[in-house]
Chains A and B, each alone.
Chain A
Amino acid sequence: MSLKYGVLGLLAQEPLHGYEVKNRFESMLGGTWEVNVGQIYTTLQRLERDGLVRPVGARGDRGKLLYELSQAGRKALVEWLAQADSGPQQLHEDIYVKLLLATRVANGGLPALLGRQKRAYLQRLRDLNQLEERARRDGRIDLARLVRGALLHTEADLKWVDELMADLHGGKTE
């Protein structure tokens, strides 16, 4: 998925060797995605195998090899950029499964579970707010936009938990 296209995108700007790709990728993502250099080399090798990148010249000092984008690589990148993200929504967090299990296993542990989750979301909102401010201060408007997306997602998570808490509360008084 997007590590592949991230590498293609960076190489579309200028030829780079593996370690530069790693550094630029991480700094582009502002620390929100750490990769090890091995992953980068594996990705570059696969991209070379598929004809999307090619080495420029011979191996330089300390065995560094520069890669550049091929015609096919540029085409693949442009097509990927033009595609909307579709497919199922990915829910990664354990809370969704905990919610399902809490009513089955933990007998009445649900209010406390939701209360703790609400705190966690509030703290995350606070942290994301600070991260967004930091990105803006550093002149990283692109990164601030990414963080803003995360902020709005967390706001939705919080509304969801509030709604579940209100449901529980309403159920009790009936």
Chain B
Amino acid sequence: MIELVRLTDVVKVYQGGITGALNGVSLSIAQGEFTAVMGPSGSGKSTLLNLIAGLDRPTSGRVVVGGTELGELGEAGLARFRRDHVGFVFQFFHLLPNLTALENVLIPAQLKGRENADARGRDLLERLGIGEVANRYPAKLSGGQQQRVAIARALINKPTLLLADEPTGALDTNSGDQVMDLLAQLHRDGQTILLVTHDAKLATRHSARVISVTDGKIVDDARLETTDRPAADVVRLRSEETSR
């Protein structure tokens, strides 16, 4: 097991008592894991994600990702870390409206100084099943297509860690299912994924590890069996027969 993320006694306090604070969280995530972090809104689950992403700094405690101690990085260092190691997928896609789908996908590559990532960008859109929308603008795309563009953008720099915060929250059931299936496929291909959701059905769909966060604390860290079980072992209709 190669450890990719380690949090030690992480505390995050917000001025003015805004919800989402963390009260001492320790956690280790291995490379290749598909972990779900589950909790109600305001529980601190998104804060946890933002700290791992280097989008925010803890009030105290340590965050180490891929051997890098994030607390030792300055603002520029953190930005570099995010660009090189982290891919983000949010609930509301955050695509730039005046750029085409492909141009949106290429932004992180350009920030990294890779000017010829075109082929990889097109390849990613192809792999995500939306090769035909490469030259369209976000406004012309469905929610599901926009989210897939956002996933391609998250993957363009081959991130060590893919973070998804309620990635299906703004999608209809069908598009949501497709996005979840895509994440599962990426995981099978070796991608480490951290999924944040309030929805237990989503958390357990593909993740073998489900962490529950309540009031800024990890209250449960469950590793689930992933072998297929026969239907009768999973659900049973009532079978008592009343004779008459």
B242 touches A125 (CB 8 A): no
Q: Is A39 an interface residue (CB 8 A)?
A: yes
Partner of B222, one of A35, A119, A152: A119
> Whole-angstrom distance between the alpha carbons of A143 and B236 in the complex?
12
Q: Which of B65-73, B97-105, B200-208 lines the interface with chain A?
A: B200-208
A131 touches B235 (CB 8 A): yes
B204 touches A122 (CB 8 A): yes
Closest to B202 in A: A129
Residue in A2, A92, A127 with the greatest tally of chain B CB atoms within 10 Å:
A127
Q: Nearest Cβ distance between residue A88 and chain B, in whole angstroms?
A: 14
Closest to B207 in A: A126
Q: Which residues of B contact A15 (CB under 8 A)?
A: none
A32 touches B200 (CB 8 A): no
Q: Which residues of A contact B226 (CB under 8 A)?
A: 126
Q: Which residues of B contact A166 (CB under 8 A)?
A: 214
Closest to A120 in B: B222
Q: Is A9 an interface residue (CB 8 A)?
A: no
A165 touches B219 (CB 8 A): yes
Q: Is A20 an interface residue (CB 8 A)?
A: no
Q: Which of B207-244 contact A (CB under 8 A)?
A: 210, 212, 214-215, 219-220, 222, 224-226, 228-244
Closest to B40 in A: A162
> Whole-angstrom distance between the alpha carbons of A3 and B242 in the complex?
10
B225 touches A126 (CB 8 A): yes
Q: Which residues of B contact A146 (CB under 8 A)?
A: 235
**How many A-B pairs with Cβ below 8 Å?**
87
B224 touches A118 (CB 8 A): no
> Whole-angstrom distance between the alpha carbons of A130 and B230 in the complex?
10
**Per-position 1/0 for A157-174, Cβ under 8 A of B:** 011001001100100000
Residue in A119, A126, A130, A134 with the greatest tally of chain B CB atoms within 10 Å:
A126
Q: Is A8 an interface residue (CB 8 A)?
A: no
Q: Which residues of B contact A122 (CB under 8 A)?
A: 200, 204, 210, 222, 224
Q: Which of A71-129 contact B (CB under 8 A)?
A: 90, 92, 115, 118-119, 122-129
A39 touches B241 (CB 8 A): yes
Q: Which residues of B contact A130 (CB under 8 A)?
A: 228-229
Q: Nearest Cβ distance between residue B242 and chain A, in whole angstroms?
A: 6
Please tell me the size bucket of the interface on A: 35 or more
Given A127-B234, A129-B201; A35-B229 close (CB under 8 Å): no
Q: Is A155 an interface residue (CB 8 A)?
A: yes
Q: Which of A1-37 contact B (CB under 8 A)?
A: 1-4, 29-35
B242 touches A1 (CB 8 A): yes
> Whole-angstrom distance between the alpha carbons of A155 and B38 in the complex?
13
Partner of A125, one of B200, B212, B214, B241: B200
Closest to A3 in B: B241
Residue in B212, B225, B235 with the greatest tally of chain A CB atoms within 10 Å:
B235
> Whole-angstrom distance between the alpha carbons of A129 and B226 in the complex?
11
Q: Which residues of A contact B230 (CB under 8 A)?
A: 31
Q: Which residues of A contact B236 (CB under 8 A)?
A: 32-33
Partner of A127, one of B201, B220, B229, B240: B229
Given A3-B241, A126-B224; A31-B200 close (CB under 8 Å): no
Give the B-binding residues of A (Cβ under 8 A).
1-4, 29-35, 39, 43, 46, 90, 92, 115, 118-119, 122-131, 134, 146-147, 150-152, 155, 158-159, 162, 165-166, 169
A-B contact pairs, 12 of them (CB 8 A): A46-B244, A90-B238, A115-B220, A122-B222, A123-B222, A123-B225, A125-B201, A130-B228, A131-B234, A146-B235, A155-B201, A169-B215
Other A-B contacts than A34-B239, A122-B200, A155-B201, 11 sampled, CB-CB below 8 A, are A3-B241, A32-B232, A33-B237, A125-B203, A126-B224, A126-B226, A127-B225, A127-B234, A131-B234, A134-B228, A162-B214
